[in-house]
A and B are shown apart, each in its own frame.
Chain A
């Protein structure tokens, strides 16, 4: 296994402008000192509440927006510092799968044109060669080749998501960034796409960054999980460890809030008070302290560092080694 993506101290600030002269009056710290790596064949999921910086992180990695600071090493090169021209060959290697399969496909193009477009743009001008590759891709995502000349409107949500995946795979990428790829789908179709993504990744050895808010889906797809809170990673761990023995109070609360589809396991939930913090004016010290049931006075002033508590398991909490938290596999359920 080799490291495909190595993100180091990534930061993205959005200026807040106000007044007549549009002076910059402050900044939204959308992403604040985020670091992680992804190996080939590995899925890392980014989870956290709305506005915590998941999409901004992915957009920086794809260089859809320029990061404020930090390094994004992709196959050894720093994406954050390259010029547009130099980025091009790298961009081919990193592809995106979108949340909304309905709006992300051009309605005036046939399926064969949609999937073949990236091939054409990258120099595969021979029609027969291109069609052969498109047919291969359709087979990969388990769509009948009879669909080649149809338009997207004739397809269901799940089928459109398969088309989006086929297009993303056209140029043999080594990294896939998927931002909420199954959240718009019905349960029965979501299961098909989740399985397809697991299968394709195992087969093609892709590295994947999977952005999601549904922790149940995340449990099924990820090798490792990073939990974000107000722009910072507060915990990162192998999937099993994160769910069974979380090290951060926010992760504990997040896991506790997930409804388990079994009425015999109705649990007494940790109900977090208040709303997620405002990234333009985050709380001092540990950003989570106003909602944290374990907070002490120290948490209001000191910013906790990300500290490894077990191999591959790091936590950003001042009290990580004093408190013992409950996961979802253990005994926190009643009945």
Chain B
């Protein structure tokens, strides 16, 4: 396989609040390749968005990257560690919206209500390419057409509140593409949308990826979307990457008890009517009350007393591509 375009190495991002330290991302490593989609999945608060924001160096205070590397392979083949760049420096700003594009969950709060979508696109285009206003406007219309917005010549002068949720999310994708990125990070890009509109946006991301060999990080809590879109998957729980592997292995040979429990508990359109779901006992612990040992042990049906509640599990490789952080995998070699 080619070299990864982005490599995250043992990333730790913490928030230092008055009440204590939230270890929002606490040891995550993964590789992203051109033309591939990496899915990051997990329940609320597990650190998906903070991972994305760390990569872009836009973590809000009182949070900061404590350790780790974010290695971006540039177009010229050199490698830049994003962690070492000043977050507000020229280079980090050029990479944000340039080589790495971002689509957020809520288009309403990320799009300005005071500027037309055209002006926002023109600004984004000119930030990363030396174009005249007129050229940039033509490019903006081109971008709107590319993301499937009907009548782009007219829509370019519309305000975001004049558009439906689906069209707004397409504008967000157009904005993310303005800097000709090689990496696209989409954080819950379809969570606020109807299934029919979700299908449109996912199809759009898929086709853009095919055409431009984009590397995509798709963040979602929806296992269905992951199954549909991802090549590789990272499963997170309480800031920890508990399992990662190819999508087929994650769904058909999951290693971590949390992955297994999560898969059993999701509702399925193929279920029998009135069929009950398997449940995971308890709920996600409060970020300030992270359990000792394995973060999942209080809810784990397979936990080993005296081990899982005491020691943090290492990550074990299983085969060439799959790995999970669970004591159960620590079997002496046969």
Contacts and interface: CB of A to CB of B under 8 A. Distances in A.
B278 interface: yes
Contact of A257 (B165, B199, B261): B199
Given A262-B227, A263-B251, A264-B248, A220 B43 contact: no
A198 B228 contact: no
Interface stretch (A77-85, A104-112, A269-277): A269-277
Interface residues of B, number: 51
Contact of B224 (A198, A256, A259): A259
Given A188-B43, A219-B268, A261 B263 contact: yes
B304 interface: no
A146 B149 CA distance: 55
Interface stretch (A21-29, A87-95, A208-216, A301-309): A208-216
A330 to B, nearest CB: 11
B151 interface: no
B110 interface: no
Contacts of B167: 275
A176 to B, nearest CB: 16
Contact of B274 (A159, A186, A223, A260): A223
A199 to B, nearest CB: 8
Nearest to B230: A263
A136 interface: no
A154 B225 CA distance: 32
Interface stretch (A5-13, A62-70, A189-197, A313-321): A189-197
B284 interface: yes
A215 B269 CA distance: 7
Contact of B269 (A222, A238, A260): A260
Given A213-B195, A216-B224, A220-B274, A258 B279 contact: no
Query: 7 closest A-B pairs (Cβ-Cβ)?
Result: A259-B224, A216-B267, A191-B277, A239-B273, A257-B199, A188-B280, A191-B265
9 contacts: A188-B283, A194-B277, A216-B269, A223-B274, A259-B222, A260-B269, A261-B268, A263-B230, A275-B197
Interface of A: 49-50, 156-159, 186-192, 194-195, 198-199, 213-217, 219-223, 238-240, 243, 253-266, 269, 271-272, 274-276, 328-329
Interface of B: 43-44, 150, 164-167, 194-200, 202-203, 221-228, 230, 247-248, 251-252, 261-263, 265-280, 283-284, 299
